[in-house]
Amino acid sequence: MHALNNKVAVVIGGSSGLGKAIALGLADAGADVIASARSGSSIEDVAKLIEAKGRRTARIPSDVTSSGSLQTLHDRVIEMFGTIDILVNAAGITKRIPTLECGEDLWTSIMNVNLNGTLRACQIFGKTMLSQGAGRIINIASLSTFVAFDGVAAYCASKAAVGELTRSLAIEWGSRGVLVNGIAPGIFPTELNRQLLDTPRGQELLSRTPMHRFGKVEEIATTAVYLASPENSFTNGEILTVDGGYMASGVNQ
């Protein structure tokens, strides 16, 4: 697959989990990929993997809670690569806690990363894409964009808002060549949730997935490649679920 030859992609939150898988998938498809995150050591690890695929990259840390940090990331990518064709917003945090115990500081911190961080990046990188008259933005949503889960009210609210932000930007920017879509992953074993999946709660989630298995991170990457590619010329404002049929089964928590 070389659908993304000569394209430059920035994956924010691209040093681990699904973001890392997407960054490597975009590189496999031919893109030069900058996987950015707060940790310099984790960025280095992904950068080496991207370079091993014969693609260009850069080691640029960023913090989605800081507009200045994201602006620096943007400016350095433009300086080094001359363009930005693809933006993936994959940074996110969560905490399982009863809502009555969720203080305002915790609520605000989750919103600031998941929702406000996505908005900041869309504004900064989207401005350049609009000036180019072309671009692809992919926001990582969640099943909780559509349904609620117990004990994660702040996360659910933030991801529901990411879905509406995605659709709103698609309406504003689609006619100007910038397509904005989202991916709502089902249950994928990552560093963030691997311990949960080994519990009875994890087995319950597995039993409610019609394909009777958890996802493989590569299966998220292929969806991102499609949304980022020139072959996607008319998918705009969609939140694509990649969940083994979880949502189709009509189950809720």
72 SS3 class = helix
Lowest-pLDDT choice from 138-142, 158-162, 213-217: 213-217
The answer to whether 181 touches 227, Cβ cutoff 8 Å, is yes
Q: What is the pLDDT of residues 3-29, one digit of tens each?
A: 899 999 999 999 999 999 999 999 999
Confidence of residue 253 (pLDDT cuts 50, 70, 90): very low
- pLDDT, mean of residues 107-120: 98
Q: Phi then psi for 7, rounded to 5 degrees?
A: -100, 150
* Residues above pLDDT 90, as percent of the chain: 81
Q: What is the pLDDT of residues 22-63, one digit of tens each?
A: 999 999 999 999 999 998 889 999 999 999 999 999 999 999
CATH number of 8-249: 3.40.50.720
- pLDDT, mean of residues 200-214: 84
Whose CA is closest to 163, among 135, 179, 142? 142
Q: Which residues pair with 211 in a beta bridge?
A: none
The yes-or-no verdict on residue 220 having pLDDT over 70 is: yes
| Percent of the chain that is helix, strand, coil (3-state, to 5) | 50, 15, 40
Q: Is 241 exposed, middle or buried (0-12, 13-18, 19+ CB in 10 A)?
A: buried
- Region of 92 (left: φ > 0; alpha: ψ -120 to 50; beta: rest) is beta
Residue 199's Cα: distance from chain center in Å? 26
d(CA 193, CA 167): 28
Residue 184, CA distances (Å) to 18, 43, 232 in order: 11, 24, 18
The yes-or-no verdict on residue 162 having pLDDT over 90 is: yes
The chain-wide mean pLDDT, for the chain, equals: 93
The answer to whether 77 touches 58, Cβ cutoff 8 Å, is yes
Spell out the domain ranges in the chain.
Answer: 8-249
Mind giving me the DSSP string for 208-220?
A: TSTTSSPPPHHHH
> Catalytic: 246?
no
d(CA 114, CA 107): 11
Tokens 């519990």, residue?
199
Specify the pLDDT at position 1: 55
The yes-or-no verdict on residue 202 having pLDDT over 90 is: no
Give the active site residue among 107, 125, 146, 155: 155
CB atoms within 10 A of CB 94: 20
Residue 58's Cα: distance from chain center in Å? 19
Confidence of residue 192 (pLDDT cuts 50, 70, 90): low
Tell me the chain's radius of gyration from C-alpha atoms.
17
Lowest-pLDDT choice from 37-41, 150-154, 190-194: 190-194
- pLDDT, mean of residues 86-93: 96
Q: What is the DSSP letter of 141?
A: -
Q: What predicted TM-score, i.e. pTM, was given to this entire model? A: 0.95
The answer to whether 29 touches 42, Cβ cutoff 8 Å, is no
d(CA 204, CA 225): 30
52 SS3 class = helix
